[in-house]
Structure 1
Amino acid sequence: MDHVDVVLPCLDEAAALPGVLAALPAGYRAIVVDNGSTDGSPEIAAAHGATVVHEPRRGYGAAVHTGLERAGTEIVCFLDADGSLDPGELPELVAPVAGGLARLAVGRRVPVGRGVWPWHARAGNLVLATILRRRGLHVSDIAPMRAARRVDLLELGVRDRAFGYPLELLLRAAAARWPVVELDVAYRPRTAGTRSKVSGSVRGTLRAVRDMAGVLR
C-alpha cells in the first residue's frame, strides 16, 4: 500500500503523542481525532505532522467514526494514542487485508510486563471475547488496534458512539461472516503522564462494560 490513514482517538494524550506519531511507518498518515482535550494535544499532534480533527461528542466510538469518515485511503488502521501499542506493527495487520485474506485484522494484546493489563480489564475482556466466540468469531481480544478497508467499515454500519464501538464492530463482522485475522501485538506500559480511560481504573472498566452491555442488548 502506498498510503494508509491511521485514526487515533485522543483525549489528553499530550505526553504520548510525539512518540506515537514518530513511530508510524513510512506511508502511514496520522488522523488524530481530538475528543475534548485540555492539555494541548491537538496543537502537539499538528506540530508533529498529524491531521487533527475535532469531535465534540464525547465517546470512543464518536472519535473513531469521525476519523473513519475523514480518512481517504482504501485501508484504514485504528490505534490508541497512549503509547501502549507499537505503530510499527501496523503493516502486519494491513498485509492480510490488502492481500484479500481478511476483511478485518485485529491485534491481540500480549503484555510485555507485569501490571500492564490490570485484572479488572483482563476479566472484562475475557467475558466479552467468550461471547464473541459463542457467536462464531474466534478472537480473544476486543481489538484496540485493527485494520480494514474503509468502505467495508462504513457499510458495516456500526452505530455505537461510546465504548461499545469495538464490540459492536466485531459482532457485526461475525454476523456478516467476515474473515477475521487476529495477530499478536505487544502491549506496553502507557507513556508516563497518560492514563487509560477504560483499563486505568475499575470505574473506567465498569463504564466500558456498561456501554458494551448496551450493545449486546
Structure 2
Amino acid sequence: MLVDVVLPCLDEARALPGVLRALPPGFRAIVVDNGSTDGSAEVAAAHGALVVAEARRGFGAAAHRGLLAATADIVAFCDADGSFDLAELDRVCAPVREGRADLVLGRRRPQSWGAWPLHARVANAVLARRLRRLSGAALHDLGPMRAARREHLLALGVADRRSGYPLEMVVRAAHAGWRVAETDVSYRPRVGRSKVTGTVRGTLTAIADMSRVLAEVRA
C-alpha cells in the first residue's frame, strides 16, 4: 500500500538528498516548496520527489498543501531538515495501516545532546501537558512525524496555517474520538540552521501559535 509523505520545505537543499534517499519502498515523497531560494525544489525533483509549491508562508500552509496534493489512502508528515530518519516511517504508519490507531505521532528520542535544544524541549513538554488535560490524548510529544488516513484528515477541517497546524490536528482528532497513539522515533541534529525550534525566537512564535489554538478550542 502506497503512503504519501508530505515534507514541508523552506531552503533545505543541503538536507534533502539524504532525507529522500532514506525513504523506504512503498513511500512517495511530496516536497512542498514554501518559497525556497536555495534550489530546494530542483534538488527534490532530481531525487524523485513530487514537488508542489505553496506561496503562503507557514508550516501549516505547506503541510496542508501537501495533504491536498496527496492521493494515497495514508498520508504521513515529516520535517525535511534531516532530523528524522524516514526509514522509521513504517513504524509510524503501521498502526494506522493495521487499524490499531487513527492518528500516530512519532515521539522524539534525541540521539545526541544537540538534537533538541533545551528551550524547545521544555516548550514541547508544557504544550503536551496542556494538550493531555484538554483532550485526554495520552501524548508526550507534539512532533511533526505523524500519519493518518487522508480522507479522515481532510474531514477534520484543520484551519491553522502556521505553527499551530500540528497541534490543531491532534486536538480535533481527539475531540472527534480518534484513537491517537505515539511511537518512539529517532531525533538527530538537523542539517543547517533551524528556522523554528532551533532558535528562541522561533520557539516563542510556535508557542504563541499553539497557545492560540488551545485558547480557541477552549472557547
What TM-score do you get using the length of structure 1 for normalisation?
0.97
Aligned to 1:33: 32
- What is the CA distance between 1:143 and its match in structure 2? 2.3
- What is the CA distance between 1:123 and its match in structure 2? 1.1
Aligned to 1:74: 73
In the alignment of these two chains, the number of paired residues is 214
Find the residue that maps to 1:83 and give its secondary structure.
coil
Deviations 1:169-191 (A, max 9, x none): 11111111210120000001112
Aligned to 2:130: 131
1:162 and 1:40 map into 2 onto residues whose CA distance is 23
2:140 and 2:194 map into 1 onto residues whose CA distance is 20
RMSD value, Cα: 0.8
Q: Does 1:24 align with 2:23?
A: yes
Once superposed, which parts of structure 1, at least 4 consecutive aligned residues long, lie more than 3 Å away? none
2:171 and 2:3 map into 1 onto residues whose CA distance is 25
Q: Does 1:216 align with 2:217?
A: no
Q: Does 1:99 align with 2:98?
A: yes
Find the residue that maps to 1:126 and give its secondary structure.
helix
Structure 2 alignment gaps of length 5 or more: none
- Superposition pairs of residues 39-50 of structure 1, within 5 angstroms: 39-50=38-49
- What is the CA distance between 1:196 and its match in structure 2? 2.1
1:184 and 1:138 map into 2 onto residues whose CA distance is 14
Using the aligned pairs only, state the percent identity. Answer: 64
Letter in 2 for 1:98: R
Letter in 2 for 1:112: Q
1:162 and 1:170 map into 2 onto residues whose CA distance is 15
Aligned to 2:199: 201
1:140 and 1:198 map into 2 onto residues whose CA distance is 20
Letter in 1 for 2:201: R
Contact 2:138 2:181 in 1 (8 A): no
2:173 and 2:138 map into 1 onto residues whose CA distance is 11
Deviations 1:48-91 (A, max 9, x none): 11111000000000000000000000000111000000000001
Letter in 2 for 1:45: A
1:127 and 1:176 map into 2 onto residues whose CA distance is 23
Letter in 2 for 1:207: T
Q: Does 1:168 align with 2:168?
A: yes
Contact 2:5 2:28 in 1 (8 A): yes
Letter in 1 for 2:159: R
Deviations 1:104-130 (A, max 9, x none): 011000001112111110111011100
Aligned to 1:9: 8
Select between 58-67 and 173-182 the one with higher mean Cα deviation. Answer: 173-182
1:120 and 1:156 map into 2 onto residues whose CA distance is 31
Deviations 1:11-67 (A, max 9, x none): 000000000001000111110000000100000001111111000000000000000
Structure 1 alignment gaps of length 5 or more: none
Find the residue that maps to 2:11 and give its secondary structure.
coil
